[in-house]
């Protein structure tokens, strides 16, 4: 891991997990972690272990559901999938994120007054 990789903002990991499950359907923890790394072009710094805290939290909020199943190469793994409530939450949080990033960009790109 190099210095140049991005540190995740508090709470954004949950959003990424929700989005990943939305686009990939049912997936296990390792798969989610890999997918986030790949789609971010390996830009995001992620201790894969931290993904599980996020998964527990989302599960307790009933935004995702979990079930033990079998992977492609016949390995037992726990599969997570988005629930209805999770889909709604994803839409809400995506909107929030977009608003937040627009605002922050606007503030940062404001011309310097001398």
Partner 1 sequence: MNAHIRELLGRILSIFRKRELDDDFDEELASHIEMATEDNIRAGMNPQEARRQALIRFGGVDASRELHRDTRGLPLIENIIRDTRYALRMFFKKPGFSLAVIITLALCIGANSAIFSILDTLILKPLPFKDSDQIVSIYTSHGDDSKKQPGNISQYLNYKENIDEFSHLALWWPMHANVVIGDEAVRLNIVATSAEIFDVLGINPLLGGFFTKTDSGDVSSDQVILTYSFWKSYFKADPEIIGHTIEINGKACEVIGVAPQTFEVFDAQSKIIWPIQLAPLIKGNMGLAGQKFVGRLRPGAKVSTVTARMTALEQQAFDDIPPFMKQGVDRNKIVAGMDSLQSSRVEPDLRLKLYLLEGSVLFVLLIGCVNVINLFLSRANARQGELAVRISLGSGRKAITRQLFVESFLLTWTGSALGVALAFGIIDIINVFTARLLPKSLPFSIDSRMLLFTLIIATLTALIVGIFQAYHICGSNLLSLTRNQSKSVSNGLSLRRLSGGLVIAQIAVTLILLIGAGLLIHSFANILGIDPGFNPQQLISARIELGANYRQDSQRYRFRELLENSLKEIPGFKSVTLSGSAPYSDSAYTAAPPPPSGKNEKPPVFYLTFSADVSYLETMQIPLIEGRWFTAQDSVNSRPVCVVGQEFIRQYFPDENALGMPITEFEGAPEIIGVVGSIRDLSEEERLNRRFPPIVYRPIKQNLMWIIIVSVRSPRPAPEVIALIREKVREVDPALPLDETGSMESIISASLSERRAIMMLLCSFAGIALILSAVGIYGVLAYDVSKRTHEISIRGAIGATEKQIISMVLRQGLWKAGIGLLIGIIGAFYLSKFMASLLFEVKPIDPLTFILVSVLLLFVAVLASYIPARQASRVDPAMALRAE
| Residue 78 found at the interface with partner 1 (CB under 8 A) | yes
By C-alpha distance, which of 52, 10, 14, 56 is closest to 31? 52
Cβ nearer to partner 1, comparing 13 with 19: 13
Q: What one-character-per-residue DSSP string does 16-58 give?
A: HHHHHHHHH-SEEHHHHHHHHHHHTTT-B---TTHHHHHHHHH
Query: With b meaning 16 or more CB within 10 Å and e meaning fewer, what string describes 16-32?
Result: bbbbbbeeeeebbbebb
Rounded CA separation 21/55 (Å): 11
Looking at the Cβ atoms of 26 and 59, the one nearer to partner 1 is 59
Q: What character string, x for contact with partner 1 (CB under 8 A) and - otherwise, covers 38-77?
A: ---------xxxx-xx--xx-xxxxx-------x-x-xxx
Instruction: Tell me which residues in 21-40 interact with partner 1 (CB under 8 A).
Output: 28-31, 33-34
Beta carbon nearer to partner 1, 56 or 100: 56
Closer of 19 and 89 to partner 1 (Cβ):
89
Residue numbers at the binding site for partner 1 (CB under 8 A):
28-31, 33-34, 47-50, 52-53, 56-57, 59-63, 71, 73, 75-78, 85, 89
């Amino acid at each position: 891991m190099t210095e140049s990789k991005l540190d995740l903002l508090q709470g954004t990991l949950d959003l990424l997990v929700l989005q990943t499950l939305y686009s990939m359907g049912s997936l296990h923890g390792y798969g989610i972690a890999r997918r986030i790394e790949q789609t971010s072009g390996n830009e995001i710094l992620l201790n894969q272990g931290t993904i599980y805290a996020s998964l527990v939290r989302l599960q307790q909020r009933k935004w995702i559901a979990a079930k033990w199943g079998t992977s492609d190469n016949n390995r037992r793994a726990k599969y997570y999938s988005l629930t209805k409530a999770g889909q709604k939450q994803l839409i809400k949080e995506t909107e929030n994120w977009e608003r937040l990033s627009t605002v922050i960009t606007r503030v940062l790109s404001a011309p310097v007054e001398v």
